[in-house]
Amino acid sequence: MGLCSSKLNAEGNYDPSPFTIFMATSSKAKFAQQDYQAKYTGTRPILVVCTDDGLMKMANGKVFNTGNHPVEMFVPMLHFRDAGFKFDIATASGKPVVLEMWAYPTADERVKGLHDEVRQMMEKPKRLQDIKNLDAYSAIFIPGGHGCMLNLPSSVALGKLLNIAHARALPTVTLCHGPSVFLATCVEGTGQAECAYKGYKTMCFTDKTDAFTPSIGYLPGPMPWKVEECITEKGVTVVNKKESGAVTSDRELITGDSPDAADNLGKLAAPLLVKYAADNRL
Protein backbone atom coordinates (compact mmCIF):
# COMPACT_ATOMS: atom_id res chain seq x y z
CA MET A 1 0.00 0.00 0.00
CA GLY A 2 1.36 3.41 -0.98
CA LEU A 3 1.14 6.90 0.43
CA CYS A 4 -2.07 7.52 -1.54
CA SER A 5 -3.86 4.33 -0.51
CA SER A 6 -6.30 4.11 2.37
CA LYS A 7 -4.72 2.43 5.37
CA LEU A 8 -6.15 -0.76 6.88
CA ASN A 9 -6.28 -0.35 10.65
CA ALA A 10 -6.13 -2.92 13.46
CA GLU A 11 -9.94 -3.20 13.57
CA GLY A 12 -10.11 -4.18 9.90
CA ASN A 13 -11.48 -0.83 8.73
CA TYR A 14 -9.84 1.88 6.67
CA ASP A 15 -8.30 5.19 7.73
CA PRO A 16 -7.36 7.87 5.18
CA SER A 17 -4.04 7.51 3.39
CA PRO A 18 -0.82 8.97 4.84
CA PHE A 19 -0.87 11.51 1.99
CA THR A 20 -4.38 12.64 2.92
CA ILE A 21 -3.55 12.85 6.61
CA PHE A 22 -0.53 15.01 5.78
CA MET A 23 -2.40 17.30 3.39
CA ALA A 24 -5.84 17.56 4.97
CA THR A 25 -5.24 17.56 8.74
CA SER A 26 -3.21 19.69 11.11
CA SER A 27 -1.99 19.44 14.69
CA LYS A 28 -3.63 22.82 15.35
CA ALA A 29 -7.04 23.95 14.15
CA LYS A 30 -7.66 27.24 12.37
CA PHE A 31 -9.36 29.35 15.01
CA ALA A 32 -9.38 33.13 15.23
CA GLN A 33 -10.68 34.11 18.65
CA GLN A 34 -13.23 36.90 18.54
CA ASP A 35 -14.15 39.57 21.06
CA TYR A 36 -17.92 39.21 21.05
CA GLN A 37 -19.30 42.48 22.40
CA ALA A 38 -22.83 41.10 22.66
CA LYS A 39 -23.00 37.77 24.50
CA TYR A 40 -25.71 35.35 25.42
CA THR A 41 -26.65 35.63 29.10
CA GLY A 42 -29.52 33.16 29.23
CA THR A 43 -29.68 29.58 30.40
CA ARG A 44 -30.71 27.65 27.29
CA PRO A 45 -27.88 25.56 25.82
CA ILE A 46 -27.25 24.77 22.18
CA LEU A 47 -28.35 21.25 21.27
CA VAL A 48 -25.35 19.59 19.61
CA VAL A 49 -26.49 16.56 17.60
CA CYS A 50 -23.64 14.13 16.97
CA THR A 51 -23.16 10.72 15.42
CA ASP A 52 -22.76 7.56 17.46
CA ASP A 53 -21.82 5.51 14.40
CA GLY A 54 -18.35 5.58 12.90
CA LEU A 55 -18.35 2.78 10.34
CA MET A 56 -19.37 3.67 6.77
CA LYS A 57 -19.59 0.79 4.32
CA MET A 58 -18.51 2.10 0.95
CA ALA A 59 -19.94 1.04 -2.41
CA ASN A 60 -17.05 -1.45 -2.84
CA GLY A 61 -17.69 -3.08 0.55
CA LYS A 62 -14.72 -1.57 2.38
CA VAL A 63 -15.51 0.13 5.68
CA PHE A 64 -14.37 3.70 6.32
CA ASN A 65 -13.39 4.69 9.86
CA THR A 66 -15.37 7.88 10.29
CA GLY A 67 -17.48 9.81 12.82
CA ASN A 68 -17.79 13.52 13.48
CA HIS A 69 -14.82 15.55 12.28
CA PRO A 70 -13.27 17.03 15.47
CA VAL A 71 -12.42 20.38 13.88
CA GLU A 72 -15.93 20.72 12.45
CA MET A 73 -17.31 20.01 15.90
CA PHE A 74 -15.08 21.86 18.31
CA VAL A 75 -14.06 25.01 16.40
CA PRO A 76 -17.62 26.35 15.95
CA MET A 77 -18.29 25.36 19.57
CA LEU A 78 -15.31 27.45 20.69
CA HIS A 79 -16.94 30.47 19.08
CA PHE A 80 -20.32 29.63 20.62
CA ARG A 81 -18.74 29.24 24.06
CA ASP A 82 -16.92 32.57 23.71
CA ALA A 83 -20.27 34.16 22.84
CA GLY A 84 -21.75 32.90 26.10
CA PHE A 85 -23.41 29.60 25.16
CA LYS A 86 -23.32 26.23 26.88
CA PHE A 87 -24.07 22.85 25.31
CA ASP A 88 -26.22 19.77 25.53
CA ILE A 89 -25.17 16.77 23.42
CA ALA A 90 -27.38 14.08 21.90
CA THR A 91 -26.97 11.10 19.57
CA ALA A 92 -29.47 8.88 17.79
CA SER A 93 -29.26 6.00 20.27
CA GLY A 94 -27.72 7.65 23.30
CA LYS A 95 -24.45 5.84 22.68
CA PRO A 96 -21.19 7.84 22.92
CA VAL A 97 -20.19 10.34 20.27
CA VAL A 98 -17.77 8.95 17.68
CA LEU A 99 -14.99 11.22 16.40
CA GLU A 100 -12.65 10.89 13.43
CA MET A 101 -9.63 10.70 15.71
CA TRP A 102 -7.24 10.53 12.75
CA ALA A 103 -8.21 14.19 12.16
CA TYR A 104 -7.82 15.30 15.79
CA PRO A 105 -5.63 18.43 16.24
CA THR A 106 -3.43 16.88 18.89
CA ALA A 107 -1.40 20.02 19.66
CA ASP A 108 -4.37 22.38 19.94
CA GLU A 109 -4.86 23.21 23.60
CA ARG A 110 -8.07 25.18 22.99
CA VAL A 111 -9.71 22.24 21.24
CA LYS A 112 -8.43 19.80 23.84
CA GLY A 113 -9.67 22.03 26.63
CA LEU A 114 -13.18 22.27 25.21
CA HIS A 115 -13.17 18.53 24.55
CA ASP A 116 -12.39 17.96 28.22
CA GLU A 117 -15.23 20.30 29.22
CA VAL A 118 -17.85 18.35 27.25
CA ARG A 119 -16.27 14.88 27.42
CA GLN A 120 -18.74 13.55 29.98
CA MET A 121 -21.68 14.65 27.81
CA MET A 122 -20.05 13.05 24.77
CA GLU A 123 -19.60 9.77 26.61
CA LYS A 124 -23.15 9.80 28.01
CA PRO A 125 -25.20 11.89 25.57
CA LYS A 126 -28.96 12.25 25.55
CA ARG A 127 -30.98 10.09 23.20
CA LEU A 128 -32.70 12.06 20.46
CA GLN A 129 -36.07 10.40 20.91
CA ASP A 130 -36.09 11.44 24.58
CA ILE A 131 -36.02 15.13 23.54
CA LYS A 132 -39.67 15.91 22.86
CA ASN A 133 -39.36 19.61 22.02
CA LEU A 134 -36.84 22.42 21.78
CA ASP A 135 -38.26 24.68 24.48
CA ALA A 136 -35.07 24.31 26.53
CA TYR A 137 -32.67 25.15 23.68
CA SER A 138 -31.30 28.26 22.02
CA ALA A 139 -30.14 26.65 18.73
CA ILE A 140 -29.21 23.36 17.06
CA PHE A 141 -25.70 22.54 15.87
CA ILE A 142 -24.93 19.43 13.80
CA PRO A 143 -21.21 18.87 13.15
CA GLY A 144 -20.09 17.25 9.93
CA GLY A 145 -17.85 14.34 9.11
CA HIS A 146 -18.99 11.40 7.00
CA GLY A 147 -20.32 9.76 10.17
CA CYS A 148 -23.30 12.10 10.34
CA MET A 149 -24.57 10.43 7.14
CA LEU A 150 -25.01 7.05 8.81
CA ASN A 151 -28.03 7.15 11.09
CA LEU A 152 -29.02 10.80 11.42
CA PRO A 153 -30.61 11.37 7.97
CA SER A 154 -33.04 8.51 8.69
CA SER A 155 -33.77 9.54 12.29
CA VAL A 156 -37.45 10.27 12.84
CA ALA A 157 -36.63 11.86 16.19
CA LEU A 158 -34.13 14.26 14.62
CA GLY A 159 -36.51 14.99 11.75
CA LYS A 160 -39.23 16.00 14.19
CA LEU A 161 -36.84 18.27 16.10
CA LEU A 162 -35.61 19.92 12.91
CA ASN A 163 -39.20 20.51 11.84
CA ILE A 164 -39.89 22.17 15.19
CA ALA A 165 -36.76 24.30 14.76
CA HIS A 166 -37.85 25.23 11.24
CA ALA A 167 -41.34 26.21 12.37
CA ARG A 168 -40.00 28.64 14.96
CA ALA A 169 -36.96 29.77 12.90
CA LEU A 170 -34.60 28.47 15.61
CA PRO A 171 -30.99 28.86 14.38
CA THR A 172 -29.76 25.60 12.85
CA VAL A 173 -26.04 25.32 12.14
CA THR A 174 -24.21 22.63 10.17
CA LEU A 175 -21.36 22.09 7.73
CA CYS A 176 -19.66 19.73 5.30
CA HIS A 177 -21.68 16.46 5.22
CA GLY A 178 -23.97 17.77 7.96
CA PRO A 179 -26.63 18.91 5.46
CA SER A 180 -27.37 15.21 4.94
CA VAL A 181 -29.61 15.53 7.99
CA PHE A 182 -32.02 17.76 6.06
CA LEU A 183 -33.37 14.48 4.69
CA ALA A 184 -34.60 13.54 8.16
CA THR A 185 -37.27 16.25 8.05
CA CYS A 186 -39.41 14.26 5.61
CA VAL A 187 -38.73 10.62 6.45
CA GLU A 188 -41.72 8.39 7.15
CA GLY A 189 -42.86 8.94 10.70
CA THR A 190 -42.26 12.69 10.82
CA GLY A 191 -45.65 13.48 9.32
CA GLN A 192 -44.02 15.59 6.65
CA ALA A 193 -43.78 14.71 2.95
CA GLU A 194 -41.66 17.70 1.99
CA CYS A 195 -38.18 18.65 3.17
CA ALA A 196 -38.33 21.55 5.63
CA TYR A 197 -35.51 23.28 3.76
CA LYS A 198 -37.00 23.12 0.28
CA GLY A 199 -36.18 26.45 -1.36
CA TYR A 200 -33.28 27.14 1.01
CA LYS A 201 -29.67 27.77 0.01
CA THR A 202 -26.94 25.79 1.70
CA MET A 203 -23.25 25.00 1.62
CA CYS A 204 -22.32 21.32 1.44
CA PHE A 205 -19.33 19.09 0.76
CA THR A 206 -19.72 18.43 -2.96
CA ASP A 207 -20.37 15.07 -4.59
CA LYS A 208 -17.62 15.94 -7.07
CA THR A 209 -15.00 16.05 -4.33
CA ASP A 210 -16.35 12.92 -2.65
CA ALA A 211 -16.01 11.14 -6.02
CA PHE A 212 -12.39 12.30 -6.34
CA THR A 213 -11.08 11.50 -2.87
CA PRO A 214 -10.81 7.69 -3.28
CA SER A 215 -8.10 8.36 -5.89
CA ILE A 216 -5.85 9.80 -3.16
CA GLY A 217 -6.97 7.36 -0.47
CA TYR A 218 -9.07 9.69 1.66
CA LEU A 219 -11.97 7.29 1.22
CA PRO A 220 -11.38 3.55 0.66
CA GLY A 221 -14.00 3.42 -2.08
CA PRO A 222 -16.89 5.22 -3.77
CA MET A 223 -19.59 6.78 -1.60
CA PRO A 224 -22.61 4.59 -0.74
CA TRP A 225 -24.87 7.55 -1.53
CA LYS A 226 -24.47 11.21 -2.46
CA VAL A 227 -25.43 13.99 -0.07
CA GLU A 228 -25.48 16.86 -2.56
CA GLU A 229 -27.57 14.89 -5.06
CA CYS A 230 -30.07 13.74 -2.44
CA ILE A 231 -30.71 17.12 -0.82
CA THR A 232 -30.89 18.77 -4.24
CA GLU A 233 -33.62 16.30 -5.19
CA LYS A 234 -35.54 17.51 -2.12
CA GLY A 235 -35.44 21.10 -3.36
CA VAL A 236 -32.45 22.42 -1.43
CA THR A 237 -30.01 24.56 -3.46
CA VAL A 238 -26.32 23.84 -2.88
CA VAL A 239 -24.55 27.11 -3.71
CA ASN A 240 -20.90 26.04 -3.65
CA LYS A 241 -19.20 24.20 -6.52
CA LYS A 242 -16.04 23.38 -4.55
CA GLU A 243 -14.68 23.58 -1.01
CA SER A 244 -13.03 26.86 -0.07
CA GLY A 245 -14.02 27.41 3.55
CA ALA A 246 -17.11 29.35 2.48
CA VAL A 247 -20.18 29.87 4.66
CA THR A 248 -23.67 31.23 4.11
CA SER A 249 -26.96 31.83 5.92
CA ASP A 250 -30.53 31.56 4.67
CA ARG A 251 -33.20 32.35 7.21
CA GLU A 252 -32.52 30.12 10.23
CA LEU A 253 -30.07 27.88 8.37
CA ILE A 254 -26.34 28.65 8.77
CA THR A 255 -23.96 26.39 6.84
CA GLY A 256 -20.34 25.83 5.78
CA ASP A 257 -18.77 23.80 3.00
CA SER A 258 -15.99 21.76 4.63
CA PRO A 259 -13.66 21.43 7.64
CA ASP A 260 -11.93 24.59 6.39
CA ALA A 261 -15.21 26.44 6.99
CA ALA A 262 -15.33 25.61 10.71
CA ASP A 263 -13.78 28.87 11.91
CA ASN A 264 -15.74 31.01 9.45
CA LEU A 265 -18.94 29.23 10.40
CA GLY A 266 -18.41 29.94 14.08
CA LYS A 267 -17.68 33.59 13.41
CA LEU A 268 -20.80 33.93 11.25
CA ALA A 269 -23.15 31.94 13.45
CA ALA A 270 -22.25 33.09 16.97
CA PRO A 271 -23.56 36.68 16.62
CA LEU A 272 -26.66 35.43 14.80
CA LEU A 273 -27.43 33.04 17.66
CA VAL A 274 -26.94 35.82 20.21
CA LYS A 275 -29.26 38.13 18.24
CA TYR A 276 -31.94 35.46 17.87
CA ALA A 277 -31.83 34.76 21.61
CA ALA A 278 -32.10 38.47 22.45
CA ASP A 279 -34.90 39.10 19.97
CA ASN A 280 -36.86 36.12 21.30
CA ARG A 281 -36.00 36.62 24.97
CA LEU A 282 -34.45 33.17 25.31
Question: Any idea which residues carry the catalytic annotation?
Answer: 176
Question: What is the Cα–Cα distance from 270 to 40, expressed in whole angstroms?
Answer: 9
CA–CA dist 138, 143 (Å, integer): 16
Q: What is the largest CA-CA distance in the chain?
A: 57
As to burial, measured by CB atoms within 10 angstroms (0-12 exposed, 13-18 middle, 19+ buried), residue 18 is: middle
Nearest in space to 24 (alpha carbons), one of 64, 71, 67: 71
Rg (CA), the chain: 18
Burial of 197: CB neighbours in 10 Å, binned 0-12, 13-18, 19+:
buried
Residue among 250, 256, 274 at smallest CA distance from 75: 256
> How many beta carbons lie within 10 A of that of residue 251, not counting itself?
13
